[in-house]
Structure 1
Amino acid sequence: MSGREPLDLTEITPGAAIDRGRHGWRAKCLQRLIRMDLPVPQSWAISSESVRAIASGQIPPTPALAGLFARTAGLVGVRPSAMHPEWGGPGTVLHVGMNDACHAHLTKRLGKDAADALYLSFIQTYAVQIARLDPDMFAQGGPGALDDAMRAWRAEMDEDFPQDPARQLAEVLRAMARAWDGPTARLLRQAKGAPADAPLGLVVQEMALALGPGVTGSGTIQFIDSVTGTPRITGRFRGQELGAARGAGAETLYLTRDDRGPSLEETAPQVFAELVRFGIAARERLREEMQIEFIVTDGILSIIDATRVERSSRASVRIAVALARDGIIPPDEAVMRVHPRALSDLLHYQVDPRAPRDTITRGINASPGAATGRIVFTAAAAQASAARGEACVLVRRETVPEDIRGMHASVAVLTERGGTSSHAAVIARGLGLPCIVGATGLSIDTRARTLHAGGRTLREGDEITIDGTSGEVLAGAAEMLEPALDDSFNQLLDWADAARRIGVRANADTPEDARTARMFKAQGIGLCRTEHMFFDESRLPAMREMIFADRPEDRRLALERILPMQRDDFVELFTIMAGLPVTIRLFDPPLHEFLPHDREGMRELAESLALPLSEVTRRVEALSEFNPMLGMRGVRLGITLPEIYEMQARAIFEATVIASRKDAPVVPEIMIPLVSAMREVELVKTRVDAVAASVRNQMRADFTYRLGVMVETPRAALRAGDIAAHSAFLSFGTNDLTQMTYGLSRDDAGRFMSTYVNQGVYVEDPFHILDADGVGELLLMGCERARKSRPGITLSVCGEHGGNPQSIAFCHQAGVDYVSCSPFRVPVARLAAAQESIRSRDESAFDDSPAVLR
């Protein structure tokens, strides 16, 4: 576009060819409002092609712009119109065309004060946003401010303030186009998920001035509470509002009758009734809850703009369900309108977004929700606090398996180290505890029982709030919103279940976990980690006795003490799940995790076992490994110390018989961890089959079970065809599979992961979002080879990725039968799985934007 070429300027009329891709969401929204016969001032859309040409240096044709002013009352405003509203855009510029002649006209019509304020406001905006002059030079106010602004302009620009409206508008268009094309704007867009070269349209609109006699002013109105989603008229109306300046007699009115002060409903009931009618029409025709921007000029209403109401997670659920129940959108679209992660906010207490926040430090938001408690630094202190009925926050450098009891006793967890798949993060998500890991600048002094962060020193017993949703640690007790597991939440998930094609189970180790899983309608337990049962205080002594036994028969004697307790665990799990599948992973961790590592702990253990301290020390050192996660754990323990797996198999089968006699038959699923060779499966299967035969004979009962493998090593994925020959199911443990594929420690990677992501080494944290290119390829290869070897085999993913929406989408495409995740992630997984099913069924049916913008 040169000075001779026409500007692609389209008047927005009901039949105009306005396209969101070329003209942006705002232009399309205004067209919809005009089609509804709402009183929208004359508006024009400038295409993204013209904006791009202007940004490249081509000059907008002055005749076209002059002709536009000839069709208006004199002033226009310019607003950005990107393809999606969340992409933002350069700031709006109002009152373009204001000059000395217009100022004189408005002085006669409205008075000098109002005209001066309007002119001053425009000069200030033009100087700062268009001419890029120093804002401090144009911060004038009060008597004589207009003359001061004019002098400042002349001093800086060596010319009078431009009087030609067409020139003003051309400069505004050029400045906005270049601002959108600048490097800072590109980075901001990319942070919001927009492409760097995203198009921008512009909207030019005749100004409806909020000046004059009678009821006059500007405001916004919406018909839903942004935090709760409940029907409620909110907004504001400011009499004779002039943007940054006000004319004489300006005042703020509440929209509805209220004892707080005067309201628009009382002052101008007809205007208020029109706004309500327009709001109802907009909801029905635009199929969305909208915030309407309006101007009232001497009792005459003008609708300037309408935008999608900003909303919290709980409000987004309530709004989507209400729209579907009212027949405005179909249920599947309601399902698509709610981001799966939004459901996490409804499951837990949340810090009220309207309340003040005193932030101490920030970290990785490892488990959502918020809780307030007093600082404790040890698991023992957490248990003591819980016994006193005091809420506490467990603060550790990083948690270890022995801290589980302390985590159970806490309301939240904060660690100095760790990432999204660290021990603290995984366990906290399973327990539904708010958790922050890898806190920035956090330093813990366990001896002094203090922590240092953000220039502050806090002591044990001081109260803090953990906001696991935002990753912020707050001082004191913050104001909270209660969980919102209401009718709208349940309805949305019922619609999701009707749409999804992939199953969702829960990772559950305890009866509490199982009950939570049932409450959230998990379709069974996809991963029960039995080792957590051994950390119970009543079982740990027998476990340690087994570790110190030298002979198989001595190990069996020690394990016989654990057998009835483990059997009771499984009976309770089977009973709670009421016939739903339960996948039990056999013992996995290295044995050293069950032993003390400090001198005092080893001394106590020596006394309890009646052994010399030197013998205990020697055995602890002997069990220590340089790399325990790659050492004697999982199936390697089951083969070298078969008594452990035999005891667990017996407990499972005896519990199966007992639970089946009470209710429907139970078919347990036994999963072998850390397999890398077919022969490992054969050896374990032989022993498990023998135990099953023994239990059948002893209890005179028949039962069936399914034996499967947890695919956690790259070799297991590569040899999935061989392994599948002896397996009823394969469950990909993507936590360890990611760890071993990358050669990264999931507990320590958080220390440098943000650097790697920021510098583009990894697109995302692979422990947070499944790596489709590497780990995903192993998963796809394993699925293909397993199904080729055994067509009816069940395939699943049971790592933490099973609760991540993007990872679930990959699992859906890979054709796995189900995903399994922490109980509190089950609703997220149900919704994400449904959205992927709907999306794959009809890619063009829905997108995430309101219907008005499509």
Structure 2
Amino acid sequence: MKQVYEFRDGGKEMMALLGGKGANLAEMAKIELPIPEGIIISTTACNEYFKNDKKLSPVLEEEILRNIRVLEYETGKKFQSPKPLLVSVRSGAPVSMPGMMDTILNLGFNDYVAEKMLEITKDEKFVYTSYLRFVQMFSEIAKGIDRRKFVHLKATDYKAQILESKKIYRDECGEIFPENYRDQILIAVKSIFESWNNDRAILYRKLHNIGNNMGTAVVIQEMVFGNFNEQSGTGVLFTRNPSTGEDKIFGEVLLNAQGEDIVAGIRTPDNIELLKNSMPDIYNQLVETAKKLEKHNRDMQDIEFTIENSKLFILQTRNGKRTAEASLKIAMDLVKEGIITKEEAVMKVEPASINKLLNGDFEEKYLKEATLLTKGLAASSGVAVGRIMFDAKRVKIREKTILVREETSPEDLQGMALAQGIVTLKGGATSHGAVVARGMGKCCVTGCSEIKLDEINKTMTIGDHVLKEGDFISVSGHTGEIFLGKIPLKENSFSDELKEFVSWASEVKRMNVRMNADTAEDVAQGKSFGAKGIGLCRTEHMFFKNDKIWTIREFILSDRGEEKERALKKLHNLQKEDFLNIFEVLDGDEANIRLLDPPVHEFLPKTTDDKKKMTEILLISLEEIEKRIYKLKDENPMLGHRGCRLGVSYPELYRIQARAIIEAAYECEKKGIKVHPEIMIPFIMEAKELAFLRKEIEEEIEDLFKELGARVEYKLGTMIEIPRACLLADEIAEYADFFSFGTNDLTQMSMGLSRDDSVKFLDDYREKGIWEGEPFYSIDRKAVSQLVELGVKNGRSRKTNLKIGVCGEHGGDPKSIEFFEEQNLDYISCSPFRVPTAILAAAQAYLKK
């Protein structure tokens, strides 16, 4: 099977096989852009390498060397000849992972090649700095030699430094530095394959939910030299501003430098506008190329380029990483420019970025009074307030920190992921720190050259200010400004642009998106974000506000008889008022109201003062209160006397709640407000439970209709949250007008995990490779999903048109939403602030299907 490809063999449709870099180079070759010649070793070869005990097979080695001969023919150069060919060897995964894997430049050098290059270029500094860089990069990447060993070389001239670096290689590895290009290439390919599983790459994939099995391709490409002379350089540009989305090329250039200098942030580059005056023809060519690539790939592009002796070469293009703000603006602008459709725009914005758009900025009134410390480059939008931390390894989770580094490296990834924001002294808007921060949605400011770090004493000095590790600063990724102390934040509004974009997604999606809402305020918020109806109103949550908790406590602790009846009357009046308020704001949309499902322990009084207050309410002794609390105590409250079990023990409880719902609906309809109540019975495990409670509730509602002399349309259904209910969903469906999956409890009971306690040990499982992900955030696709699938299948086998939704936390998770779309659920429901994200995820799931 073929494992090595020429550029002309591929295209962007082969990204899984050729990696992002290789596929895009092949695509650029198709449209005849100026790219250096090269070959691509496939991701399949990478996976075979790991299966083959980390060895290159003889067949693959021969295929690589055969294609190297083709590359020599295409370039008119030969390795280690009078007209020497030098190459770069780069990683290229199917998914962009900037800076996480490795690159080796200038491969092919030895002493003979250096002599021939000197004859051609007549530039000793260029030749020997390029040779030295190759030796040191190869030593670090291929053999893992610490780069710091090359920092303080004793030799002063380049030739002697090369010899000294080769001696370090021999001392560290116990072997001489490889001089033959074949050895160099094969060792380099192995090392790039190995970098797929380096610590930073594994962590990056974990943070960005990227699979571990796709592998990386390897691109071997003819070298072009940005460090050839002053008419040479290297740069990175975005076809639009990656922070704001502005339609103007945005980028940086370093003259007389190689690509790693700019990407690694080793030197602070110049704005790309510099080329307008110094190399106007090159600048115009870049603008033209940028637009051509953007139109061809139908998205904003991140382009790496090199200028060699006034000639432009494009080294790479890919869809550019961008902030949430830029993502939205670019998608909408591309539609308005006629480049893409609304459906394509919907697919271009990550659902998670919607949450970032709802994050805030600094309060302006406090900003005016703040002390400005310095201003750097605004590399990634957003704001952050936190304590200064100089070492990525010391950034603690749940502790608000700002990571301040001279420059970031991939080794800092863990700290960057945990920090609120990132500040670097060196580097530009396309350095490692900036690119990674944008991908994480974190605010980042780079190029803060006025900051002086003292890592020994753990201080940083800016002008007259000396700040210690642990001091607070406030950072704006919008402006690049850094302020002393803590500045209060303000919330973003749901902008007109975001509303319009979410409306595009609403037009596309199939599933309805409802809200979890327990108050009229929740409903108003959810509606403003685009929710259509309530998917879960938790009636027990209504008692957490305004001292209402005493009413539910009174009911729980009441003895049967008069005490219970008095408590029920109070409960009825409070609930009816709450439902009226909700229905009025909802104004015609469906309202799924879950009857009481309180784990009783959550409502029982715990302090002596609370217990004494209950003696005043119930007019009984403290000793009697203690006895009743003891009798009600569940050893395992989450599986105890809750949900429909309360309704079976106290049918009058669910009857009175149903009465309050229908009375409120009736009063709204009298005012001309249409109401569509859905009464949901929770925690059902057996069809007979539902049959019993349905009969009780229907009797109460029929009695009410007789009293009113009028009827109100309503539906009565159940929550499917116990594994047994999924298995028996066909029997349960006989008594249900709808199902709603409660995936939180379904996950707990099917996996034997407590969502409150599992955080204590799941990290151990993830570190040891036993488990990936967070089961209470994204639905378990191995087992819990099977229960949902079975519940849907069984329920609809009895009632073909059974309405089915989901109201657990998974209802707002994009990955889970994709699964729910596959199951043809009718709706998903989530908290109000997750509604815009859920709408976009639902639209994307439908378009993917």
TM-score class, shorter: 0.7 to 0.9
Q: Quick one: distance in 1 between partners of 2:103 and 2:658?
A: 67
Tell me, which stretches of 5 or more residues in structure 1 are unaligned? Answer: 258-262, 373-461, 467-474, 841-854
Say if 1:110 and 1:211, in contact at 8 Å, map to a contact too.
no
- 2:28 paired residue number: 33
The amino acid that maps onto 1:212 is N
Say if 1:464 and 1:476, in contact at 8 Å, map to a contact too.
yes
Q: Quick one: distance in 2 between partners of 1:184 and 1:292?
A: 23
Of 121, 126, 130, the match for 2:138: 126
Identity of aligned residues (%): 30
TM-aligned CA deviation for residue 525 of structure 1: 0.5
Of 638, 654, 657, the match for 1:629: 638
Q: Quick one: distance in 1 between partners of 2:748 and 2:28?
A: 53
Q: 525-534 vs 55-64, which deviates more?
A: 55-64
1:684 aligns with 2:693: yes
- 1:394 paired residue number: none
Change (3 A) 1:591 1:9: closer
Change (3 A) 1:45 1:99: farther
- 1:84 paired residue number: 94
Q: How is 1:125-274 mapped onto 2 (pairs within 5 angstroms)?
A: 125-130=137-142, 135-139=147-151, 140=153, 143-153=156-166, 157=170, 167-168=180-181, 170-182=182-194, 185=197, 188=201, 191=206, 193-196=210-213, 198=215, 200-213=217-230, 215-242=231-258, 254-255=270-271, 263-274=274-285
1:331 aligns with 2:342: yes
Change (3 A) 1:814 1:91: same
The amino acid that maps onto 2:77 is R
Q: Quick one: distance in 2 between partners of 1:636 and 1:283?
A: 60
Q: Quick one: distance in 2 between partners of 1:46 and 1:779?
A: 42
1:718 aligns with 2:727: yes
Change (3 A) 1:49 1:708: closer
Q: 560-569 vs 41-50, which deviates more?
A: 41-50
Change (3 A) 1:788 1:130: closer
Say if 1:735 and 1:799, in contact at 8 Å, map to a contact too.
yes
TM-aligned CA deviation for residue 65 of structure 1: 6.8
State the TM-score, normalizing by the size of structure 2: 0.76
Change (3 A) 1:463 1:598: farther
- 1:420 paired residue number: none
- 1:117 paired residue number: 129
The amino acid that maps onto 2:228 is L
TM-aligned CA deviation for residue 363 of structure 1: 5.3
The amino acid that maps onto 1:126 is F
Say if 1:95 and 1:207, in contact at 8 Å, map to a contact too.
no
- 2:77 paired residue number: 71
TM-aligned CA deviation for residue 821 of structure 1: 1.8
- The C-alpha deviation readout for 1:398-434, integer Å capped at 9, x for no partner, is xxxxxxxxxxxxxxxxxxxxxxxxxxxxxxxxxxxxx
Q: Quick one: distance in 2 between partners of 1:645 and 1:15?
A: 65
The amino acid that maps onto 1:174 is L
- 1:287 paired residue number: 298
Q: Quick one: distance in 1 between partners of 2:12 and 2:724?
A: 58
Change (3 A) 1:608 1:567: closer
1:707 aligns with 2:724: no
1:573 aligns with 2:544: no
TM-aligned CA deviation for residue 9 of structure 1: 6.3
- 1:315 paired residue number: 326
- 2:747 paired residue number: 738
TM-aligned CA deviation for residue 280 of structure 1: 1.3
Q: Quick one: distance in 2 between partners of 1:561 and 1:491?
A: 44
Change (3 A) 1:553 1:151: closer
Change (3 A) 1:49 1:204: farther
Say if 2:226 and 2:259, in contact at 8 Å, map to a contact too.
no
- 1:398 paired residue number: none
- The C-alpha deviation readout for 1:738-785, integer Å capped at 9, x for no partner, is 222233322222222233344455454432332344333333333233
State the TM-score, normalizing by the size of structure 1: 0.75
Q: Quick one: distance in 2 between partners of 1:122 and 1:596?
A: 72
Change (3 A) 1:326 1:76: farther
Secondary structure of 1:182's aligned partner: helix
Structure with the larger RCO, 1 or 2 (CA within 8 Å, 6+ apart): 1
Tell me, which stretches of 5 or more residues in structure 2 are unaligned? Answer: 50-54, 362-379, 403-470, 476-483
Change (3 A) 1:103 1:137: farther
Secondary structure of 2:801's aligned partner: coil
TM-aligned CA deviation for residue 20 of structure 1: 4.2
Say if 2:132 and 2:161, in contact at 8 Å, map to a contact too.
no
Say if 1:527 and 1:584, in contact at 8 Å, map to a contact too.
yes
Q: Quick one: distance in 1 between partners of 2:718 and 2:30?
A: 61
Q: Quick one: distance in 2 between partners of 1:687 and 1:463?
A: 60
TM-aligned CA deviation for residue 15 of structure 1: 9.6
- 1:837 paired residue number: 846
TM-aligned CA deviation for residue 256 of structure 1: 5.5
Change (3 A) 1:521 1:22: closer
Q: How is 1:344-743 mapped onto 2 (pairs within 5 angstroms)?
A: 344-349=355-360, 358=387, 477=486, 483=492, 485-743=494-752
- The C-alpha deviation readout for 1:167-205, integer Å capped at 9, x for no partner, is 33x233212321244386277467463454635242322
TM-aligned CA deviation for residue 731 of structure 1: 1.4
The amino acid that maps onto 1:78 is S
- 1:342 paired residue number: 353
Secondary structure of 1:341's aligned partner: helix
Secondary structure of 1:769's aligned partner: coil
Secondary structure of 1:605's aligned partner: helix
Say if 1:18 and 1:31, in contact at 8 Å, map to a contact too.
no
TM-aligned CA deviation for residue 162 of structure 1: 6.6
The amino acid that maps onto 1:129 is I
The amino acid that maps onto 2:163 is M
Q: 799-808 vs 40-49, which deviates more?
A: 40-49
TM-aligned CA deviation for residue 47 of structure 1: 5.4
Secondary structure of 2:592's aligned partner: strand
Change (3 A) 1:126 1:624: closer
Change (3 A) 1:229 1:74: same
TM-aligned CA deviation for residue 586 of structure 1: 0.7
Say if 1:769 and 1:807, in contact at 8 Å, map to a contact too.
yes
Q: Quick one: distance in 1 between partners of 2:357 and 2:129?
A: 46
Say if 1:803 and 1:820, in contact at 8 Å, map to a contact too.
yes
The amino acid that maps onto 1:217 is G
Change (3 A) 1:554 1:598: closer
TM-aligned CA deviation for residue 705 of structure 1: 1.2
Q: Quick one: distance in 2 between partners of 1:817 and 1:749?
A: 31
- 1:56 paired residue number: 57
- 1:94 paired residue number: 106
Q: Quick one: distance in 2 between partners of 1:812 and 1:95?
A: 50
Q: Quick one: distance in 1 between partners of 2:783 and 2:85?
A: 58
Secondary structure of 1:668's aligned partner: strand
Q: Quick one: distance in 2 between partners of 1:603 and 1:766?
A: 41
Secondary structure of 1:92's aligned partner: strand
Say if 1:526 and 1:583, in contact at 8 Å, map to a contact too.
yes
CA RMSD of aligned residues (A): 4.0
Change (3 A) 1:526 1:310: same
- 1:455 paired residue number: none
Say if 2:37 and 2:74, in contact at 8 Å, map to a contact too.
no
Say if 2:685 and 2:725, in contact at 8 Å, map to a contact too.
yes
The amino acid that maps onto 1:277 is E
Q: Quick one: distance in 2 between partners of 1:184 and 1:105?
A: 33
Secondary structure of 2:535's aligned partner: strand
The amino acid that maps onto 1:323 is L
